[in-house]
């Protein structure tokens, strides 16, 4: 059985001279688009599936965590059940099924995903309830990316997409464990700016409904409790990114860096497009969290 570090792939660092020239900022991309299952979530999911004693794992996921958990369960011989919103990208639904996991589609306007998970757990008493972000195994799995980034270059700042806070808290924890002082900024959709509001309020603030941003990996109601405990003091700031800037970032990645990414993955670059001033003269790492996007969605975004 492979350890976490044996199972994951190292992230892909991309230096794009054209991006640097166009933005006037010393940018490096840390792309998880070529990670197993196409997003960073495999780091979290494998670590979780490897370490929980249960043979059955149930989760709610907008797609990438579900796919990653399904793959990890397949590798480790466990049973995975994934509750997904009906609005999830079709490629993500198909991918979860392809790894042999059970997909449970839910109309999130009728039933909250978390409530549906509880309904399923009532019929599977020996299953582990896995949060895609609010879980220490998830945070520890994601911390590996923070360490990789710190070992690659002496960055001044890392910008990381924020949904439930699983990746950002993991990055902060990973950096902390190796004594790195790189600043971590979160980038979240303007349409679901609960993390920004939470930081201002000093406590977790939730969106009333799942925000319908194109960044479908960040359609979360709020930060997780364990994530918040790490983020509230560990993050240098949260930048709110409009869907227009997310799309523009995707087009620039395509045209200048030959990088295909999903909307959520483009949040970190979108943050720079919203306001580049704080990052002038800094060495900045943009985390691209994943690459899984429906063809038609991508074609529409490319058309501008």
> Considering only residues 174, 192, 211, 291, which one is a binding residue for its own copies as defined by CB under 8 A?
291
Nearest distance, CB of residue 128 and its own copies, angstroms? 24
Cα distances (angstroms) measured from residue 118 to each of 60, 125, 172: 10, 10, 30
Residue reference for tokens 């960040």: 218
Residue placing its CB nearer to its own copies in the complex, 71 or 139:
71
- CB of 280 or CB of 299, closer to its own copies: 299
Residue 7: HSE in the Cβ half-sphere, 13 Å Cα cutoff: 25
* Residue number with CB closer to its own copies (82 or 199): 82
Question: Closer to its own copies at the Cβ: 119 or 258?
Answer: 258
Q: 281, exposed or middle or buried, with CB in 10 Å at 0-12, 13-18, 19+?
A: exposed
Q: CA nearest 150: which of 18, 292, 30, 304? A: 30
In angstroms, the CA 29 to CA 10 distance is 13
Of 60, 62, 59, 67, nearest to 41 (Cα)?
67
By CB under 8 A, is residue 292 in contact with its own copies? yes
Q: Per CB under 8 A, does 303 bind its own copies?
A: yes
The two structure tokens encoding residue 303: 């058309």
Give the one residue of 4, 45, 70, 259 binding its own copies; rule: CB under 8 A.
Answer: 259
Window contacting its own copies (CB under 8 A); options: 105-113, 214-222, 228-236, 290-298: 290-298
Q: Which of 136, 255, 275, 280 binds its own copies (CB under 8 A)?
A: 255
Q: Which of residues 67-96 bind its own copies (CB under 8 A)?
A: 71, 91, 95
Q: Write down the least CB distance from residue 298 to its own copies, Å.
A: 7
- Residues marked as catalytic: 41, 62
CA angle 98, 9, 134 (to 5 degrees): 70
Residue 148: which H helix or E strand, with range? Answer: helix 136-152
Q: Does position 257 bind its own copies by CB under 8 A?
A: yes
For residues 67 and 180, which CB has a smaller minimum distance to its own copies in the complex? Answer: 67
Binding positions for its own copies, 11-30, rule CB under 8 A: 12, 14-18
Which x/- pattern, by CB under 8 A, does the window 95-114 give for its own copies? x--x----------------
- Report d(CA 162, CA 98) in Å as an integer: 27
First to last CA, the chain: 46
36 forms part of the interface with its own copies (CB under 8 A)? yes
d(CA 31, CA 50): 24
Which is nearer to its own copies, 127 or 167 (by Cβ)? Answer: 167
Q: How many CB atoms lie within 10 A of CB 303?
A: 8
Interface residues toward its own copies, by CB under 8 A: 9, 12, 14-18, 33-34, 36, 38, 71, 91, 95, 98, 251, 254-255, 257-261, 291-292, 295, 298-299, 302-303
């Amino acid at each position: 059985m492979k350890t976490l570090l044996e199972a994951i792939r190292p992230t892909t660092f991309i230096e794009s001279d054209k991006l640097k020239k166009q933005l006037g900022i010393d940018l490096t991309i840390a792309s998880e688009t070529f990670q197993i299952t196409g997003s960073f979530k495999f780091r979290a999911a494998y670590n979780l599936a490897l370490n929980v004693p249960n043979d059955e794992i149930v989760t709610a996921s907008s797609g990438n965590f579900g796919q990653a958990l399904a793959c990890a369960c397949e590798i480790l011989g466990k049973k995975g059940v994934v509750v997904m919103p009906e609005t999830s990208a079709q490629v993500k639904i198909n991918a979860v099924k392809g790894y042999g996991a059970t997909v449970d589609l839910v109309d999130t306007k009728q039933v909250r995903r978390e409530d549906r998970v509880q309904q399923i757990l009532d019929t599977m008493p020996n299953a582990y309830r896995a949060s895609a972000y609010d879980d220490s195994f998830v945070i520890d799995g994601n911390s590996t990316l923070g360490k990789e980034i710190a070992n690659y270059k002496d960055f001044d700042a890392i910008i990381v997409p924020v949904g439930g806070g699983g990746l950002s808290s993991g990055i902060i924890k990973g950096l902390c464990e190796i004594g790195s002082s790189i600043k971590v900024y979160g980038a979240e959709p303007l349409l679901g700016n609960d993390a920004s509001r939470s930081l201002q309020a000093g406590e977790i603030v939730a969106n009333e409904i799942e925000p319908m941003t194109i960044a479908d990996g960040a359609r979360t109601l709020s930060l997780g409790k364990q994530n918040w405990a790490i983020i509230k003091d560990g993050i240098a700031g949260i930048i709110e990114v409009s869907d227009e800037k997310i799309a523009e970032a995707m087009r620039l990645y395509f045209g200048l860096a030959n990088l295909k990414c999903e909307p959520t993955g483009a949040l970190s670059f979108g943050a720079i497009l919203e306001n580049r001033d704080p990052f002038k003269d800094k060495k900045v790492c943009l985390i691209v969290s994943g690459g899984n996007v429906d063809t038609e969605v991508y074609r529409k975004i490319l058309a501008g």
